Structure 1
């Protein structure tokens, strides 16, 4: 076990964890809400440090990241735990319970990442990487030294100080923006304002894309979706937004989101944002288009091809496109 960062000792052997906005006060022998940080003898320890629950090579588009090294692959790793309690969690086996895991050192992960010829780096994903904080931070630092990219796929629920310490080592993020205030308080057991702050801070330091999983009857109000798109556009009209279709999972048995709902959300959000995509919808258009002339910039079919982008701009009209390409 590794001693945790961002905690303070309290009286009677308790500790106060301020890594994330849950702000757990943990008695000796107890664990935090994330189930991944434990008070042992008045010290807080990371239970998931070096614990790997899943490891695989994924297309970068699976994160989803469409504007960061399109067509590339990345080594994805995860541990366990989460500081949200979403009843619809798509990765609940890793986030809401303790799975079978293997012990891995940072050097092990770096060696695996470097063993794949076309791998661009490491994605910390599947469970919530921000409560895997110490291992992610230490691994990301060394990965950067080896020329590897670091990607976070996260709910964005973290305090400002640890976020700012981590960001210099992160090359791209996909952050979930799950819904409005009510949705966060009632469904996720969190607060929207903290996630919005993470998006604002992160977007000024690294490449950020947003995912919104639309669930029937919970966060499918088109006026709220329009409000979300307007807010994101106030940060940047070029911030990619991914709407994802919900399917029954974990403890939620609502029917799948109608395809029409997803497409309507895309139509509304596209009034404010230049790049809006849909996921979990078979046959949907996944291409990236120039916001001005509508030329295809990135074609995503059997394989991903960059076809209309050169030196940072659209080949056809010269409009600046928010896409990061491989240096090679």
Structure 2
């Protein structure tokens, strides 16, 4: 791969060979021969390069439920890919070994976008998921792959922190079908302290994705002592409801990891509190993550009958018919079939 191939279209030139990256809400101003916060974009003589272009550290086959997406082609397989790098510095990241790369050389192997799509088709996947790290920082790779995937009848998915810029979101509707966004907190202080980001940027990113017509689900990892207060959980639920009460909310249990190994796992009481608050705000679909055998099923929000029964990432039963509840005719949010 030549350096020309990895030049990014998402930047603007500034004085003194500086550039401003336009991919995410950081809008990094990068001096010559320096990198952005994500550590995978470098300014070389006034041109911004994506150092991770098509350099993959993961090419896996996952159930779509693992993203988690419960209302998007349930029971299907998704070809799941990632490059290194991230624009957040989450102290509880479970994939920190590939997201937090510092100044070391980027690892992985070069795989052309055409080959990624070919592998997805060969393995009977219905979608390609850009996941594990942060797809916004390998946007050029995702865009190129996603356009090719659509031509082969595949869908495209982002599992993202939501810190996307309007400029990138305007391009995303060319190829993206669904996204799960991590809404990690509803506090500017928490985002700054634990993630190196802003709540404002995430909320704007969610709105950008909704404006682009992307099918959305939201996940909140509930971390003891960080975002588990009743007030904060209520604010998260209220925000989701203000956008659409149809948006599924995944409330996930935290387990000690990375720089938060001193924290206890999330209590079931905290998950139950979040579920109650979500229901009080009128959210129609609430799921519990990282809890075996509880809070995984989809019930009709109107007649309350069981529509999709899950066990882990496995679908045991699915009676949704073209997005409609067969019992009462209620339209069910998502893409089915």
TM-score under structure 1 length normalisation? 0.95
1:45 partnered with 2:49: yes
Structure 1 gaps, min length 5 = none
Aligned to 2:238: 230
Indicate conservation of the 8 Å contact 1:308/1:316, yes or no: no
Given the alignment, which residue of 245, 260, 280 partners 1:252? 260
295 and 99 in structure 1: CA distance in 2 versus 1, 3 angstrom threshold: farther
Aligned to 1:36: 40
CA distance in structure 2 between the partners assigned to 1:269 and 1:48 by the alignment? 39
Aligned to 1:93: 97
Given the alignment, which residue of 176, 181, 190 partners 1:175? 181
Indicate conservation of the 8 Å contact 1:289/1:298, yes or no: yes
Given the alignment, which residue of 277, 289, 292 partners 1:282? 292
Indicate conservation of the 8 Å contact 2:92/2:257, yes or no: yes
Q: How many residue pairs get matched?
A: 325
Indicate conservation of the 8 Å contact 1:91/1:127, yes or no: yes
Pairing 1:1-328 to 2, within 5 Å after superposition: 1=3, 2-97=6-101, 100-117=107-124, 119-180=125-186, 181-204=188-211, 205-253=213-261, 254-271=263-280, 272-301=282-311, 303-326=314-337
Q: CA deviation at 1:176?
A: 0.7
Indicate conservation of the 8 Å contact 2:87/2:134, yes or no: yes
Q: CA deviation at 1:99?
A: 6.0
Indicate conservation of the 8 Å contact 2:22/2:167, yes or no: no
Indicate conservation of the 8 Å contact 1:88/1:251, yes or no: yes
Residue-by-residue CA offset, 1:168-195 (whole Å, 9 max, x unaligned): 3111100111102221122112111221
Q: CA RMSD in A?
A: 1.4
User: Post-superposition, which runs of at least 4 consecutive aligned residues in structure 1 deviate over 3 A?
Assistant: 305-308
Could you say what secondary structure the match of 1:49 adopts?
A: coil
Indicate conservation of the 8 Å contact 1:53/1:99, yes or no: no
